[in-house]
Amino acid sequence: MTNRTDLLRVDGLTLHYGPIAALHEVALAVKAGGELVALIGANGAGKSSFLRVISGLHRQSAGRITFNGRDITFAASHLRVAMGICQVPEGRQIFSPLTVLDNIRLGAYRRKNSELDTDLKKLWKMFPILEEKKHLLAGGLSGGQQQMLAMARALLGRPQLLLLDEPSMGLAPLLVAEIFGIIKNLRENGTSIILVEQNATQALRLADRAHLIETGRIVLSGSGQDLLHDKRVQAAYLGGE
Ligand SMILES: Nc1ncnc2c1ncn2[C@@H]1O[C@H](COP(=O)(O)OP(=O)(O)O)[C@@H](O)[C@H]1O
Ligand SMILES: [Mg+2]
């Protein structure tokens, strides 16, 4: 049954890498208009694999994906981007020898120039440091600035659903706070988000709903608060906080 307010719905999603199953019958939903769903779990649990199936970079071996009520289970990844599913990959994957501005423009190859100018103005407001450095090479940015750049590039695709893969990875605490502040803003402005994080505390604090994934299976689901207060999550994933 597709609930009308569900933006994304995933049922029975199973993924194999050769003979190895990396995802087992994963089911979850994300509501339209700014729901934040956190996916937490240890290294190797299948979080990135899940996001890559949603963006169409990996093909599931079973299951169904619907977006805005449309079945996109077998849709090509560029069509999913055009529909409004944009992923910020793990490790940022920016193009170091290109300028900041050229990196951002890569996220806007479908945009008219007039639209691009409007969107860029919004982006500079959100990421003033990127405007300051727009003509510098992306490879010279700090880790936090590279994360902002990767997010800015995805936002130029005007996503309805933003897939964030470990945005806080490797960042100093102050920058982690800044990145989470930006995520909160995006959500408040109506962008729905799947946030994958190994560092679970902040993700759960922000999340409307959350799922714990262990070796490719969702083993616990609830509100962000539910998972924050779960003894098992606290012991294994919250680092004693
Ligand atoms: N392209 C791939 N080919 C084969 N195995 C992979 C590939 N990507 C990930 N895996 C394996 O799938 C499992 C889940 O990995 P991943 O989705 O990257 O987990 P996470 O993002 O939670 O750390 C791991 O055992 C990993 O080694
Ligand atoms: Mg990963």
Q: What is the domain partition of the chain in residue ranges? A: 6-237
Residue whose CA is at the smallest distance from ligand 1 atom 16:
46
User: Tokens 């008219």 correspond to what residue?
Assistant: 112
User: 49 alpha carbon to ligand 2 midpoint, in Å?
Assistant: 7
Q: What amino acid occupies position 234? A: Q
Task: Quickly state the pLDDT bin for 3 (edges 50, 70, 90).
Answer: low
Instruction: Please indicate, yes or no, whether the overall pTM of this predicted structure exceeds 0.85.
Output: yes
Query: What residue has token string 């609830």?
Result: 222
Distance between CA atoms of residues 100 and 95, nearest Å: 9
**Average pLDDT for residues 220-233, to the nearest whole number?**
96
Query: Under 8 Å CB-to-CB from 107, ≥6 apart: which residues?
Result: 86, 152, 153, 154, 155, 156, 157
Q: How far is the CA of 165 from the centre of ligand 2 (A)?
A: 7
Between the CA of 54 and the centroid of ligand 1 the distance, in Å, is 15
pLDDT digits (tens, 9 = 90+) for 56-110: 999 999 999 999 999 999 999 999 999 999 999 988 789 999 999 999 988 776 6
For position 91, what pLDDT does the model report? 84
CA 63 vs. chain centroid, Å, equals 21
Residue identifier of the C-alpha nearest atom 4 of ligand 1: 17
Task: Using the structure block, give the residue that is written with the tokens 């940022």.
Answer: 92
The yes-or-no verdict on residue 241 having pLDDT over 50 is: no
Q: How many CB atoms lie within 10 A of CB 85?
A: 27
Between 3.10.129.10, 3.40.50.2300, 3.90.950.10, 3.40.50.300, what CATH number should domain 6-237 receive? 3.40.50.300
Q: What is the pLDDT of residue 157?
A: 85
Q: Counting atoms of ligand 1 from 1, which one is nearest the CA of 17? A: 4
* 130: exposed, middle or buried (Cβ count in 10 Å: 0-12, 13-18, 19+): buried
Of 48, 49, 54, the residue with max ligand 1 atoms within 8 A of its CB, to mutate for a pocket test, comes to 49
- CA 36 to CA 233: how far, in whole Å? 19
Written as six digits, the tokens of 163 are 């897939």
- Pocket around ligand 1 at a 6 A CB cut-off: 17, 22, 41, 43-49
**Residues lining ligand 2 (ion), CB within 5 A?**
47-48, 90
Which residue minimizes the CA distance to atom 12 of ligand 1? Answer: 22
- DSSP-derived letter for residue 46 is S
Residue pLDDT, tens place only, 179-215: 999 999 999 999 999 999 987 999 999 999 999 999 9
Q: Which ligand is nearest to the CA of 45?
A: 1
